[in-house]
Amino acid sequence: MKAPRILLVCAVEQELAAIAAPQLASLICGVGPVQAGIVLAAHLASNAYDLIINSGIAGGFAPAAPIGSGVVVTAEHYVELGREDGVPLQLPPPAQLQSRCALPVFAQLGSIQALRGPALTSATVTTSETRASELRQRYPGVLCESMEGFALASAAAMAQTPFIELRGISNRVGDRANSGWDLAAGLASTAQLTRAVLQALATGG
């Protein structure tokens, strides 16, 4: 049987280097939702894959997602898309605003030791406890915040390509002075989770 063609997408070189998976096709998409979405969409216009995996660090919402933990993302929400107060934005029919993207469930990942739940994508890093609290209330059960997930998931969906998002928690979402920033822990958990997922996919779980 032919091995599936997998594309590993990371925002920055340090994430890709930590995972160390030279057997995979890879892409550095850059930081932020606009650049990430454009770079992946452009790449997929002339390249086809059986699966796209986005792996990288993220801020975790305490206490649900502590520093050093790994997250398999089940859904993505784009924080800035819509009204500031979170009330649904009414558009002239048939236009619809899509600020949520559900991610596919892969049965092979059932045995993976990781947190599972929704994530947020924001073009602005949360730096206050006030905003962190507001986001928890607006998105119940949210585990982490990144700057690329929703854009990459959307680009993959447009290309009709299955997509997995994996996050290693490097800091607490909120006041930066008390965020506990630990890049090494975030990269290590990202790499560990990504390798476990690749192994599970290769062996069927």
Using a cut of 0.85, tell me whether the model's pTM lies above it. Answer: yes
Spatial distance between the Cα atoms of 196 and 205, rounded to a whole number of angstroms? 10
Residue 202 has pLDDT above 80, yes or no: yes
| Domain count across the chain | 1
Q: Provide the domain limits for residue 111.
A: 6-80+98-203
User: 66-109 pLDDT, tens per residue?
Assistant: 999 999 999 999 999 988 888 888 899 898 888 999 998 898 89
Q: Which two tokens stand for residue 151?
A: 């854009």
**Residue 91 domain flag:** no
| 124-168 residue pLDDT tens | 999 999 999 999 999 999 999 999 999 999 999 999 999 999 999
Assigned domain for 90 exists: no
Q: Is 39 helix (H, G, I), strand (E, B) or coil?
A: helix
Query: Is residue 82 a contact partner of residue 97, using CB atoms and an 8 Å limit?
Result: yes
- Assess if residue 93 is contained within a domain: no
Q: 91 in helix, strand or coil?
A: coil
The helix/strand/coil state of 49 is coil
Domain assignment present for 27: yes
Placement of tokens 């995979």 in the chain: 24
Whether residue 92 lies inside any domain: the answer is no
Q: What is the CATH number of the domain that holds 33?
A: 3.40.50.1580
Contact 58, 150 (CB under 8 A): no
- Would the pLDDT of 1 be above 70? no
pLDDT digits (tens, 9 = 90+) for 9-34: 999 999 999 999 999 999 999 999 99
